[in-house]
Amino acid sequence: MDSEITIMGKKLTVIKSERKRPKQSGNILYIPVSFDEHALKEYLRMRLRRIIKSEFSKLSSSGKFFLVGEINFEIVRNFRDKSIISMLKGSTILVREDTIKLSRVDIREILIHELAHIFSSHHDEKFLMAMRYIGGKQRRLPIQL
């Protein structure tokens, strides 16, 4: 099964190998022979979760904001509204699984956007101030995957 997938903004060729665990080397992703489509999706979901947690850790350790409580992350297949990439639900940030295609910078911007919703549920001035405070310069979020 040689195919191509996009991870973190890079097109990778997927090659089955005798490895026990997936490994990326340059533009090649080596996966175990035992991997089927479901196993590959689960691996990509796990990798996206790790990236999100890493970016959240970087943001929260910057000292710009302090949250009491815990933020959880959940990877979802999709939302009813196909245009939604992520959403804050209580203290859980839901992220669509195909977000793995975006670059790390875009994933960070999505986190900043959702964290700002903790301070304001609408896209009002308070929300924009929170975005600038948490993440510095505001960028346009990716709207299509």
- Residue 67: predicted pLDDT: 73
Q: What is the mean pLDDT of the chain?
A: 86
Strand partners of residue 43: none
Return the CA Rg of the chain.
Answer: 17
Per-residue pLDDT tens over the stretch 55-72: 888 888 877 777 777 889
CATH code for the structural domain at 45-145: 3.30.2010.10
pTM for this prediction: 0.81
- Cα 83 from chain centroid (whole Å): 16
Alpha-carbon separation of residue 102 from 10, 73, 91, 122, 127 (angstroms): 9, 17, 23, 25, 23
SS (HEC) of 45-98: HHHHHHHHHHHHHHHHCCCCCCCCCCCEEEEECCCCCCCCCEEEECCEEEEEHH
pLDDT of residue 72: 92
Q: Are 97 and 41 in contact (CB under 8 A)?
A: yes
Residues 99-116 have pLDDT tens digits of 999 988 889 889 989 988
pLDDT of residue 141: 55
Report domain extents, the chain.
Answer: 1-35, 45-145
